[in-house]
Structure formats: structure tokens, C-alpha cells
Structure 1
Amino acid sequence: MRIRRHRRWMAPVVAAAAVGLALTGCTGDAAEQDAADVDCADYEQYGTFEGKSVSVAGTILDLEADRLSESWADFETCTGIEVDYQGSSEFEAQIAVLAEGGNAPDVGIVPQPGLLGRLAAGGWLIPASADVEANVDEWWSADWKQYGTYEDTFYAAPLMASIKGYVWYSPAEFEEKGYEIPKTLDELTALSEQIAADGDHKPWCVGLESGDATGWPGTDWVEDYMLRLHGADVYDQWVTHGIPFNDPQVAEAFDAVGAYLKNDDMVNGGIGDVSTQVTEAFQTAGLPILDGTCSLHHQASFYETFWNPEGGDENTVASDGSVFAFLLPPVNADDPLSVTGGGEFPVAFRDAEEVEAFRTYLSSDTWANNRVSLGGVISANKGLDPQVASSELLTQSIEILQDPETTFRFDGSDLMPGAVGADSFWKGIVAWVTGEDTAQVLDTIESSWPKG
């Protein structure tokens, strides 16, 4: 799914604000600098707007919010536009309410195409300008453009991205114990069984807790298996309800995941038994790898941020470092590369030149290189230099996204109607892990799919 730096990226914040959102702010004020120190050549195309401001809200918090604000500091200096960003763990739950009441920010960084569609259907969004669309046509694939489109109207360019389906591990442990990176799903099963048989610890560590979004990490597992077991066409049918949620192919993916998540021999290394998955926060769930009480953790590329929870750099992400990751393998070693992933979309609630100038900058290759060079994230912008990424893994991730041979599919629950993708699917994962059988869970989720 999505914290999608947002939910999935940073820990929730609980400070209350007058509009009913729990907000943690990062403003352009923190990035003020003398214009004489900034080369404004890359920003002349956006114009000057002295005294103008743009309010922005999203789910990006803490360190990632600081870096986000830094990524547009030069834009502020050169254009005169003051950008005021407010991050909230409740953004997704509250943005439609704010829009309906006329209290939405100028720009909302939306992490779900499904939520974008809901806001567009409510009549609250401003279509993207011709300049934003021109940037997307130049720097993004048609698939990514489609994720920002609703009923043939283009509303928002993509922003950042993530690749789901990484399996994090300790290179030192693999070398010491002779473990090899699996090339197929069967080899992954064999590796997991080998680690369990060695008896030092359970192989997998898993955390499904994420506040109101508890369960979403489990949806990522299912989505990865749907794509690998059944291919892109079936995946597309599933997320659009071309096949029902209780289709046998979906059940097969659930059961394949259940061989790990519902198996006390497989989870929860360094944490506890199967039941602890629903109480362990996704942000901390992979950390037992660092102390040798777990070997494998399934989480997206953005999880790189969490290996140094105190903000240091003692744990390196590299093939010869403290921790690294391989992609969840395919069924057959020679299958084409297929990955799931996510991203965000800056939608506009106010029709103003300064708002579109800001959104045009966010859709540019300049912004993508500025933000990625600050660390911790990637983008699918084709103008991004992979070498500016902050780690070997993120460079690899960018190259995967830019490779025209890669089959990419957006996070399935992000594409589904909110009643399913942001509700019954999450809740179904929790019920399933804690004891309900697959058929019962899938029937319940299927019954929640909106009629018509």
C-alpha cells in the first residue's frame, strides 16, 4: 500500500490543530537563504510572485518533511513564493472533509490514486495546467500519468515513488551462514525453511501495526504474490474488480503469503509469535535483523529510512553493509521483472498561477534530482540521475523504474475503492493473520466492494 510517506513512511503524529488534523509543520521559513547565494537560472521559467504563498499538506512527516521543504527552498528564493507545508498522519482521513468545507490546502500531496479519484469526483480538484502536463509527458511514462488522471481529466503529476516487494537481510549473516539470494519463490521457501531449521531464530520479522491503517503491510505481500503468480493482466482485473476479491486466484496468493504470516515457525523473529504481527509497528519490525534475531523482512524501498531510527548513520544500506535487500523473486528465474510500487500526487484545490508554478516545479526533472539527492527517496521521473540517490539500493530502484522492460503496477489497495483498499482489505489482513480462514476473509472483503 501506501505511508506511504505517508502512512508507510513515517510514524504518526498526534498534535491537534484547529481544523481537526493532527499537524506537524515544516515551512519554507526554515529554508530561507540569501538570493545571492542561489543560482536562479533553473527557476526563471516559473516566473516571480513576490508576496504570494502556497499552502501544502500531506502525510509526509519528520525528517522526510524537512527534506521535502529543503527540496523547494531555492524555488521559494527565486520565485518569491512562500511554501508552507503541514504534515499530518490524519491527512488521508480528513482531506475530503476539509475540501467539502472549503478548508483544503492549496495543494494536497495525495498518496493514493483512489483518493485522488474520490476528490476529483467530489468536484474539489483543479485540473493540472498545460505546463504540468507537458512535464509529465516528457519525464514520466504513460502508466504514471494515468494514475494522476480521473475520467479522462489529468489532475496531478507523480511526485516520489517506491518499489514494493524488497526483502531486507543482513549481508554478513548470509555470508557467515552460506545463505544465497533466492532466484525463485520456491527458493525463497527453501531459504526460509533452512533458516528455521538452523534454529537460531525464526526467519521472518513482520509488523502490521500502523494506527488506523493497521494491516496495510500485509496487503503489500498479497499484491506482490498476485503479480508474480498470475501476471499483470490478472492483477489489473483484480484491482478493478474484473474478477471478484474471492476469486480462486486471489485465494492462492493469500495462501502463499499465509505460509509465512500464519506460520509460527516463520514469524515473528525477535518479536514473538504470529499474534505479535498486529501489535508490532511497521517502522520497527525489521530492526531485529540488526541484532541477529531475524533474517528476512518484507518492506518497500522507503524502509531504508528506518534502519537508523535515531537519525544517525551507523547502519549502512549496501551489498556489503549492515543491511541490504533483494526483490521478492518470480515464480521462474527467467520470468520478466515485475514489481509493485507506490507514489504521491500533488493535487490542487485552488486555481492560481502561483499554485501551478509550484506544481510545475514539482513535476520537473530539476525537483526530482534536488529531492532525491537529499536522501532516502526515489522517483520514477525519467530525467532523474540514478547516481544522485543516497544508497546503492535506491540507485538500483531508480534504474528498475526507468527500465522500459520493467512491468510496474501501482499498489493494488491504493487503486481500489477506499471502502476496500483503505478499509476492508486492511482489516481483513488483521482478521486473517489472527485466525480467520482465507475463504471467510475474502468473502467479507468481496461483500464490501461498492456496488455499481
Structure 2
Amino acid sequence: MTEHAWRLRGAAVAAAGALLAAGCAPGGGGAPNGGDLQGVQLKVAAKWTGVEQDNFVEVLSGFEEQTGATVEYEPTGEDTGAYLGPKIEAGEPPDVALLPQPGLLEEYAAQDALVPLSGDAAAALEENYTGYWSDLGSVDGEAYGILLKAAHKSIIWYRPEAFDAAGVQPPKTWDDMVGTTASTLSDAGETPFAMCGASGWTLTDWFENVYLSQAGPEKYDRLTAHEIPWTDPSVVDALETMAEVWGEGDYMAGGTDGAVQTDFPTCVTQVYGQQEAAMVYEADFVAASAAEAGATVGETAQAFPFPAVGDAAPVVVGGDIAVAMSENEGTQELLAYLASAEAQTTWAGLGGYLSANSQVQPDAYADDFTRQLSQTVLDAGEDVRYDMSDQVPSQFGATEGRGMWAVLQDFLRDPGDPEATAQDLEDAAQEAY
């Protein structure tokens, strides 16, 4: 794909009112009708904050208007499992939870903490999602979850003004990014990267992109399943590659200490608000945070594909899966609504959102960039891979202070011994598996 195709040409945030029209929501797939849930109160828990939370609450308001139900949003914080665990033990889980990992879904299903999809919710999943995506929310053939919000995690965002001043272009390979783009920016007095190291999941995303491109899809699958150990030379190679950026304190806003202490989305603000760095790596949902920081997506905020480390550039996809945790009235109806093209078209119009729903039309998105992202997933074919850390046991791949998050944060602090880091990853993996 050309650089031009990756330029963000449209506004990332657009009003959704027109998109609520029936003509913009084909394939409703079981969306509720008629205000038959008057007086029903439901709780939905998810990790989203800031603009993402605001947009999701706006989507929920459509369900409230249609059904008469009241939906309360509960933020879980970064560690969804740590939030939900005590709620489940106390017998007070939210009615609907958004799980950021299929691995967490499998754990809760094994604990009988989830209610299978039924009625309109099950029908919406079958109607609106292909087998690959629906399988992500299933355990032993039983459908529990709906991939509500997908995330394209193979993108690096940049500030064109900084690139233009330094005379550099978006790189196509890792070597070009490190050896030319970053070094030239640094020589010109511009810090190349803002790092989101306090949010450990962003560091696993760095690893996954480097590893997928360098080691290839087959090894990626084998490592995910722990069929090869984390001490495998391919893991060490990936860590050594990452150290080419992480080991250069001058390449990161605030140096090494700042990189470890900066969370997401503060790192986005460092690029587009404070202008302390030229680039930030993270997924398509950066668009919403960039806009909040005052950038115009498509003009002052642009992006390029994560550069190829090996033969091909990586395409890593993540996502949040909506599940029922109660049998309360309205729960399945809410899931049916969230799975509908109507609800997801509304969210697509607000920006910072990517749908896996096959009924959501391309013109639902507020910008050309997101349309291009959805196409890159299709173009990657069998080589696209789901986020590795989200597929492994959550205590290894998605728990603050443990597993991959903690080990990679330590590696960001001091990337001088990749072999020791690989051993730490293997030790944590053995404990989790």
C-alpha cells in the first residue's frame, strides 16, 4: 500500500446523528425495538476512559432511547481481570462486561461466570460476524462473546510538521525507521518517540509486531500456544531488535525514566499536544486521543504502517469482546443491540473505532484512514494475527505487575540483556500455563 493510501485524509471525529438514520444501519441483526424495558437497570463494565468512554456511552444512549432501559457504565481500569474477579466472587458482576482478551473469556467460561448468548444476541452474532471473529468469543463450540470493538495494532502515528522540519519521510522498514528516520529527527533536535511504558499492554504490542514480522506467522502461533519456549532464539532476536529503540534514551521523550512512567493516552498528548516527540506507536484508537489533544487527523496527525522487520510488514489485530455475566432482564437485548450494525455504525461515525461486523458499511466511518485499515486486515489474509498477549492466560499476558507486562517494562528500563529477559518471560509463562 502506498504512503498516500495511509494518509489520514478525513476528520476522525464526526457527528453521528445522520448515521442513526435507518438507511445507514443495514443488517440490524436483532437490535431491540419498542421501549419494552422501561424501568430495567443494567450495568456495563469496560476499560475505556476519556474519549473512548464518551463515545461508548453515546452508543449506549441509543439502546436507552429505544428500550427505555437505563444503562450505567463502570470503568474497570487497565486490569479488567482484577476488577471483575472480586465482583464475580461477591455475586455482583456487571450485566455486560467488555473483555480485552479471549484468554480471559476462556477463564471465566471455565468458572461458569458467563452466560451463553441466546435469542437475538445469538442471532446477531451469526448474522453479522464471520466465523473467524465469532470463534474468538466461543469456548468448546458455545458462543459467549461478541467482538464489539476491533483495534488495528500495526500503526505508528507521527507529527508531519516534525518530519518536514527534519526532512524525513515515513519509513517502510525497521532499519529505515531506526537508522534514518529516528536518527535524523534526533540530530535535528526532535525526540523521535513518545513511549507509553507505564501501560504494559503497549509494550506487548511492540513485541508482537516485531516478532510477527521477524519470525513469521507460524512461529507466532507456536509461541502463543507455548509450543516453543520464550527462550527460543527468535524471541531473543526480537528483543535485540526492540533494544535498537528502547536502548536509546535520547530517542524517547523523558528518556528511559520518562518512557517507563508515561501511560496511554498521555504518550499521545506528548506528540500532539505538548509536541515533545515526533512519533508514537499504538493502534487506530490513537485517532480519538490525538483529536482530543488538538490535532486534526489527516493533517497534523498522520500514520504509517508498522515497518517491516522481516520480509513483510506485520498486521496485528486486537479487540474487546462483550459478554453476559448475568441473566437479568435486558442483558441479551443489550448484547443484541451492541452486535447490531446500527450501534456500530453510530460508533464508527464518532471516530477512533474499527468494527469486525460485516454489515457495517464502509461509508459509516468518519475518515478514509479507518476504511483503509479495514482493507489492510482483509489484504493480510491468512497472515493477519490476533494480539498474542490477549490469547495467552491473562496472568501472563494481561495483568499489571506480572508476566509480559512487568518483564517488558523491566526490559524498557534496561534492555541490555535480552537472553535474561527471554528467560524471565519463559519463567512467567511456565507459571501461567
TM-score by length of 2: 0.84
- CA displacement at 1:327 relative to structure 2: 1.1
- Alignment partners' CA distance in 2, 1:404 and 1:317: 25
**Which residue identity is paired with 1:427?**
A
Unaligned runs of 5+ in 1: 1-36
- Alignment partners' CA distance in 2, 1:428 and 1:44: 44
Q: Is the 8 A contact 1:386 1:395 kept in 2?
A: yes
- CA displacement at 1:404 relative to structure 2: 6.9
Match of residue 412 from structure 2: 433
Q: Is the 8 A contact 1:338 1:406 kept in 2?
A: no
- Alignment partners' CA distance in 2, 1:121 and 1:360: 23
Q: Is the 8 A contact 2:390 2:397 kept in 1?
A: yes
Match of residue 376 from structure 2: 400
1:225-236 correspondence runs (5 A): 225-236=210-221
Match of residue 243 from structure 1: 228
- CA displacement at 1:193 relative to structure 2: 4.9
Q: Is the 8 A contact 2:239 2:418 kept in 1?
A: yes
TM-score by length of 1: 0.81
**CA 1:138–1:451 in structure 2 vs 1: closer, same or farther (change >3 Å)?**
same
Match of residue 46 from structure 2: 58
Match of residue 330 from structure 1: 308
- CA displacement at 1:161 relative to structure 2: 1.2
- Alignment partners' CA distance in 1, 2:325 and 2:366: 33
**CA 1:75–1:430 in structure 2 vs 1: closer, same or farther (change >3 Å)?**
closer
- Alignment partners' CA distance in 2, 1:133 and 1:240: 28
- Aligned residue for 1:242, secondary structure, equals coil
Q: Is the 8 A contact 1:182 1:188 kept in 2?
A: yes
**CA 1:331–1:207 in structure 2 vs 1: closer, same or farther (change >3 Å)?**
closer
- Alignment partners' CA distance in 1, 2:408 and 2:278: 23
1:267-306 correspondence runs (5 A): 267-268=251-252, 271-290=253-272, 293-306=276-289
Deviations for 1:7-54, whole angstroms, at most 9, x for unmatched residues? xxxxxxxxxxxxxxxxxxxxxxxxxxxxxx997996986353333332
**CA 1:43–1:177 in structure 2 vs 1: closer, same or farther (change >3 Å)?**
same
Asked if 1:174 corresponds to 2:163, the answer is: yes
- CA displacement at 1:60 relative to structure 2: 1.9
- CA displacement at 1:184 relative to structure 2: 2.2
**Which residue identity is paired with 2:370?**
L
1:9-408 correspondence runs (5 A): 46-47=32-33, 48-89=36-77, 91-129=80-118, 131-196=120-185, 198-210=187-199, 215-265=200-250, 267-268=251-252, 271-290=253-272, 293-309=276-292, 314-318=294-298, 321-331=299-309, 335=312, 338-352=314-328, 354-403=330-379, 405=381, 407-408=383-384
Q: Is the 8 A contact 2:197 2:412 kept in 1?
A: no
- Alignment partners' CA distance in 1, 2:363 and 2:184: 34
- Alignment partners' CA distance in 1, 2:63 and 2:411: 48
- Alignment partners' CA distance in 2, 1:110 and 1:308: 26
- CA displacement at 1:164 relative to structure 2: 0.9
Deviations for 1:227-273, whole angstroms, at most 9, x for unmatched residues? 111222211111111111121111111111111011234x21xx332
RMSD of the TM alignment (CA)? 2.7
In percent, how many aligned pairs have the same letter? 27
Match of residue 26 from structure 1: none
Deviates more, 1:190-199 or 1:359-368: 190-199
- Alignment partners' CA distance in 2, 1:44 and 1:223: 36
- Aligned residue for 2:117, secondary structure, equals coil
- Aligned residue for 2:209, secondary structure, equals helix
**CA 1:169–1:185 in structure 2 vs 1: closer, same or farther (change >3 Å)?**
same
- CA displacement at 1:169 relative to structure 2: 1.2
- CA displacement at 1:300 relative to structure 2: 1.2
- Aligned residue for 2:216, secondary structure, equals helix
- CA displacement at 1:143 relative to structure 2: 2.4
- Alignment partners' CA distance in 1, 2:29 and 2:221: 39
Q: Is the 8 A contact 1:158 1:346 kept in 2?
A: yes
**CA 1:364–1:102 in structure 2 vs 1: closer, same or farther (change >3 Å)?**
same
Q: Is the 8 A contact 1:128 1:156 kept in 2?
A: yes
Match of residue 13 from structure 2: none
- CA displacement at 1:362 relative to structure 2: 1.0
**Which residue identity is paired with 1:366?**
E
**Which residue identity is paired with 2:52?**
E
- CA displacement at 1:403 relative to structure 2: 4.7
Q: Is the 8 A contact 1:59 1:92 kept in 2?
A: no
Deviates more, 1:44-53 or 1:350-359: 44-53
1:413-428 correspondence runs (5 A): 413-422=389-398, 423-428=402-407
**Which residue identity is paired with 2:425?**
I
Match of residue 5 from structure 2: none
Q: Is the 8 A contact 2:315 2:380 kept in 1?
A: no
Deviates more, 1:162-171 or 1:201-210: 201-210
**CA 1:197–1:349 in structure 2 vs 1: closer, same or farther (change >3 Å)?**
closer
Match of residue 31 from structure 1: none
- Aligned residue for 1:285, secondary structure, equals helix
Deviates more, 1:40-49 or 1:400-409: 40-49
Give the number of the structure whose residues are more often helix, by fraction: 2
